[in-house]
C-alpha cells in the first residue's frame, strides 16, 4: 500500500495510477486521509503504483463539496476506459452545472439540482412531487418557483455571469458540505432515506440576481 506522508486536512480529488494510467478517481474532505484509506476498500484488487492529488490549496473551489463531486464525475468520465469506478452517463456541461448552483439558494433540493446529474426537471415541470409526503394525506405537489433561467436563451457553452461577476467563482460556497444542510439523495445506496423538499426562498436579493452571458 502506498503511504502518503503529509499533514493537514485539505479537501480535494485523488487519482490512483498504474503504469501511467488512471485506474481510480475519488474525492474527500480530507483528501490525504481518504486517498490513503481507500486503497484498502475501493481498489484492493487493482494494482497501483502512484497517487496524485489536487487540493483546495491549488484550486480553492475544491473546498465546496458540490464542485468537488462534479469534477470528480467529470474526471471519472474522462478516464472511463481505464478507471475501475465507472461513470456511465456523461456529467452535465459546466454551464448546466452552474445554472443549478445559481438556483441552489432558492430551493436547495438535491432531487432536482443534483450536481452530477444531467437531469433538468426544473426546466420542464411547473410542479414537483414532494416525495417526503408519500405517506401523508393531502396533496404532495408543489409549484416550481425557480427563476426561469431556461427561458432566457442562455448560451450554456459560453461563460456565464451572475450580476456581472463570473458565475464559476461567484457561486462557490467555501467549505460547503452536504451533511451540513442534510441533503438526502434517496437513490442508490441511500435508497429509502426521506426526501425533504425545502421551501422556496422569497429573499428579494436572491430573486433579483441575474444569470447571464457577459455584460
CB 18 within 8 A of CB 46: yes
Higher pLDDT, 190 or 98: 98
What pLDDT digit, counting tens, does each position of 71-91 carry?
Answer: 999 999 999 999 988 767 889
Can you give the residue range of the structural domain that contains 70?
12-78
Q: Which of 2-11, 135-144, 197-206 has the lowest mean pLDDT?
A: 135-144
| Same domain as 131, residue 68 | no
DSSP 99-149: HHHHHTTT---HHHH-TT----GGGT-SEEE-GGGTTSSS--EEE--S--G
pLDDT at residue 214 is higher than 50: yes
Q: Cell for 42?
A: 475501493
For residue 161, give the DSSP letter.
E
Give the pLDDT band (50/70/90) at residue 184. very low
Rounded Cα gap, residues 51 and 187, in angstroms: 30
Evaluate whether residue 88 is within a structural domain: no
| Same domain as 205, residue 106 | yes
| Same domain as 98, residue 53 | no
Rounded Cα gap, residues 117 and 123, in angstroms: 14
pLDDT at residue 125 is higher than 60: yes
Amino acid at each position: 500500500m502506498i503511504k502518503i506522508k503529509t499533514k493537514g486536512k485539505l479537501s480535494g480529488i485523488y487519482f490512483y495510477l498504474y503504469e501511467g494510467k488512471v485506474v481510480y478517481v475519488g474525492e474527500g474532505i480530507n483528501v490525504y486521509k481518504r486517498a490513503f484509506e481507500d486503497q484498502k476498500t475501493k481498489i484492493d484488487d487493482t494494482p497501483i503504483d502512484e497517487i496524485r492529488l489536487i487540493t483546495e490549496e491549488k484550486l480553492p473551489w475544491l473546498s465546496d463539496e458540490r464542485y468537488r463531486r462534479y469534477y470528480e464525475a467529470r474526471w471519472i468520465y474522462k478516464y472511463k476506459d481505464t478507471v475501475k469506478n465507472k461513470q456511465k452517463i456523461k456529467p452535465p456541461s459546466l454551464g448546466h452545472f452552474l445554472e443549478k448552483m445559481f438556483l441552489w439558494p432558492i430551493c436547495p433540493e438535491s432531487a432536482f439540482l443534483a450536481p452530477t446529474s444531467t437531469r433538468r426537471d426544473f426546466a420542464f415541470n411547473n410542479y414537483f412531487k414532494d416525495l417526503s409526503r408519500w405517506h401523508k394525506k393531502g396533496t404532495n405537489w408543489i409549484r416550481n418557483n425557480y427563476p426561469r433561467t431556461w427561458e432566457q436563451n442562455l448560451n450554456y457553452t459560453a461563460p456565464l455571469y451572475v450580476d456581472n461577476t463570473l458565475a464559476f467563482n461567484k457561486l462557490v460556497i467555501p467549505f460547503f458540505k452536504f451533511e451540513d444542510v442534510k441533503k438526502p439523495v434517496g437513490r442508490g445506496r441511500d435508497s429509502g432515506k426521506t426526501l425533504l423538499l425545502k421551501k422556496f426562498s422569497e429573499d428579494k436579493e436572491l430573486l433579483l440576481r441575474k444569470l447571464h452571458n457577459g455584460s
